[in-house]
Amino acid sequence: MALHETGRVLVVCDEDGTRTEIAQYLRNLPYVVTYANDIHVSANWTELGSSIVLLDSTLADDQSSKFFALRQSVDGNSQVPVIVFALDTEQQEVEKLMQLGADDYILTPTTPVLLQARIESILAITQLRLHEHDHLKDEMTLKLEHDLQVARRIQAGFLPRVLPQVEGWEISARFQPAREVAGDFYDAFMLSQNRRIAFVIADVVDKGIPAALFMALVRSLTRAFAQQNYSLSWTDVLGADTSAPGANRKRQKRTMPSTGTSSLLNAVLLTNNYIVDNHVDDNMFATLFFGLLDPSNGQLAYINAGHNPPFIYDASGNLKAALKNTGAALGMFPNVDYTIANAQMEPGDLLFAYTDGVTEARAASGDFVTEKRLLSLLAEPATSATTLLDRVDLFLQDFMKNAVQFDDITMMAIRYTHD
Amino acid sequence: MSKVISVHSFRGGTGKSNTTANLATLLAMQGLRIGVVDTDIASPGIHILFKMNVEEMSEYSLNDYLWGRCNIEQAAYDVTPQLNADISGKIFLIPASVKAGEIARVLREGYDVGLLNDGYQRLQQKLNLDVLLIDTHPGLNEETLLSIAISDVLIIVLRPDQQDYQGTGVTVEVARKLDIPMMLLVINKVPGFFDARKVQEQVEHTYNAEVAAVLVHSDDMMAMGSSDIFSLRFPNHSVAEQYRKLAKRVMEE
């Protein structure tokens, strides 16, 4: 983009006399000169192809102010250098214009050679600056892309590298981010000295980098809090007010902790409180399903914090249960009283959990997958968790074809295999 | 469904384990199947009363169950034979480990109290227990709260001592909040020259709770030093008689 090769000079003035003077100096110089006595006509200098502007100091004060305002507001103008052209007796006017933002000045009388030397030197400096600017921009883009790649790698590290291998159970998962980084995640790990399988699927309600950062937070907190060995639900008795009416009835309502249920409650409740306490202004929230499975008998305890209900199908493809909400999405309200719900899985049963990226996936026509389509896909008996996910995966690929994927797609399938 | 009895004291050294062991023995002598869990993981000791040696315990303990190394019933030992007495029932002890490393691990990592609750239920079922006795950790912590909360009967052992009096008040308050069906106080180590009845009245008045036994300080008991079950060796002693009274009371509806 060598501007000065075009050698276009725009002269901005409002007095014919000065124009004549400038014209005299410029006459024999190798520039294409354009004259403008209306600053609005010359609003877009780059459009005119101007590589430099000569500004006459005799321009009225309000006109020169407008001139510099236009220079700032019109895209590209600020990159075109401005030289003030003035009589050597007008130093005060020159000073004013320099303060307004002119790059240099030349005082008359002068000679064409001196004027050319000044123009060339300013053009050279401008050229250098532009070059440096482009270079910085390229470097920044490269760095951003690199950072994004690293972020993607780190985020992949938040997903479990291996899913728990438990006798009698098969666990499988899929994860397809819509962009470089995602707001969805899934997790599965053992709790209570390998006595329980914990599994989580979550969807941060946003996209891109903000969602990815939040995903990292939610995933880390739930994992860490799940591994805390204390229960929140009922040590409150130490501080409870027994004089309150019905206080004693609390015993019947209070559920005694059983293996892993403290972890389940800790993970959801403490994560919610943390987000509400520290990130309420970020307006971020996440829907999350946290399941706790006893692999010895198929008993499932869970908390569903505003997430799409996972489904349990029996071996013949009958829908046995939809594991509905037991509390609000994480980060929405303080002190949510999350309750633990229970379900039973029998040998042959299959649990399918997903994020709304599945049902809201779109075909090029704009048509959504919808829950109805998903349910009919799931109703066909599957021989394994992987087969089921493959089936949904293939369907989605076919459905979306060349359409853009708008949301992250995450799925998890857990099957109680026959022993 | 078996009966769950927790034996607690707010402070240590009150005779909690001796009370638990004597109660377990007397109930087993009635032909009942008794499980005894030592949840005083930080300072275990009741296995001494049941004459269990460290080698026997090195197989499995409650700690092994908590760390997922075994099922809880695998850490249950039938200690009835070694008591050398005519016991028609059974006593199964689930001891806590006395290894420093095991104790340290509990302090360091804590454990999921839900495991205790599930473990209690599994024990009752697997060993077909009539009574599950829980020897708790002194003071109040989570596992003690859990044990108290699931109990049908809570026995609080205290000495006639100002520190015990105050601490007992805390436990009584908590037990009331937890709505325990039966709460009994056992006053232990009462000096011989005290009027036992007066002490009982005073305590009952203070806590508005039933005192089920008043155990007068006994040199014989001290001399035994927790090496045996007092009621078996001194069946005619007044302390043994009080223990029998307690055993009878806990089984009443």
ipTM: 0.78
Nearest to A263 among B68, B109, B112 (CB): B112
Q: Which bin fits A69, alpha (ψ -120 to 50), beta or left (φ > 0)?
A: alpha
Average of per-residue pLDDT across B194-198: 93
A259·B115 Cβ contact <8 A: yes
- Model confidence at B62, in pLDDT bands (50, 70, 90)? very high
Q: A364 pLDDT exceeds 90? A: no
In terms of average pLDDT, the best of A255-259, A298-302, B106-110, B144-148 is A298-302
B145·A235 Cβ contact <8 A: yes
Q: What is the pLDDT of residues A225-240, one digit of tens each?
A: 998 876 655 555 555 5
Structure tokens at A156: 């992949």
Comparing A152 with B237, the larger pLDDT belongs to B237
Q: For residue A391, what are the contacts with CB-CB under 8 A and spacing of at least 6?
A: A377, A380, A382
A258·B114 Cβ contact <8 A: yes
A237·B67 Cβ contact <8 A: no
Q: What is the pLDDT of residues A368-389, one digit of tens each?
A: 999 999 999 999 999 999 999 9
- Nearest by Cα to A4 from A42, A37, A38, A32: A32
Q: Nearest-CA distance from B226 to chain A in Å?
A: 33
A262·B178 Cβ contact <8 A: no
Q: Taking the CB of residue B80, how many other CB atoms lie within 10 A of it?
A: 21
Rg (CA), chain A: 35
Question: What pLDDT is stored for residue A402 in this prediction?
Answer: 81
Average of per-residue pLDDT across B86-112: 92
Average of per-residue pLDDT across B11-31: 95
Q: A3 pLDDT exceeds 50? A: no
Closest CA in chain B for residue A251: B178
Q: Beta partners for A198?
A: A189, A292
Please state the length of chain A: 419
**HEC assignment per residue over chain A:** CCHHHHCEEEEECCCHHHHHHHHHHHCCCCCEEEEECCCCCCCCHHHHCCCEEEEECCCCHHHHHHHHHHHHHCCCHHHCCEEEEEECCCHHHHHHHHHHCCCEEEEECCCHHHHHHHHHHHHHHHHHHHHHHHHHHHHHHHHHHHHHHHHHHHHHHHCCCCCCCCCCEEEEEEEECCCCCCCEEEEEEEECCCCEEEEEEEEECCCHHHHHHHHHHHHHHHHHHHCCCCCCCCHHHHCCCCCCCCHHHHHHHCCCCCCCHHHHHHHHHHHHHHHHHHCHHHCCCEEEEEEEEECCCCEEEEEEECCCCCEEECCCCCEEEECCCCECCECCCCCCCCCCEEEECCCCCEEEEECCCCCCCECCCCCECHHHHHHHHHCCCCCCHHHHHHHHHHHHHHHHCCCCCCCCEEEEEEEECCC
Report DSSP state, residue B37.
Answer: E
- Nearest by Cα to B13 from B149, B142, B161: B161
Q: Beta partners for A293?
A: A197, A300
Question: What pLDDT is stored for residue A244 in this prediction?
Answer: 46
Q: Nearest-CA distance from B48 to chain A in Å?
A: 29
Q: What is the pLDDT of residues A16-26, one digit of tens each?
A: 656 677 888 88
CB pairs below 8 Å between A and B: how many? 74
User: How many angstroms separate the first and last alpha carbons of chain B?
Assistant: 14
- Model confidence at A268, in pLDDT bands (50, 70, 90)? very high
B67·A248 Cβ contact <8 A: no
Q: What is the pLDDT of residues A188-207, one digit of tens each?
A: 999 988 899 999 999 998 88
Alpha-carbon distance A8 to A31, whole Å? Answer: 6
Q: Nearest-CA distance from B176 to chain A in Å?
A: 8
pTM of the model: 0.74
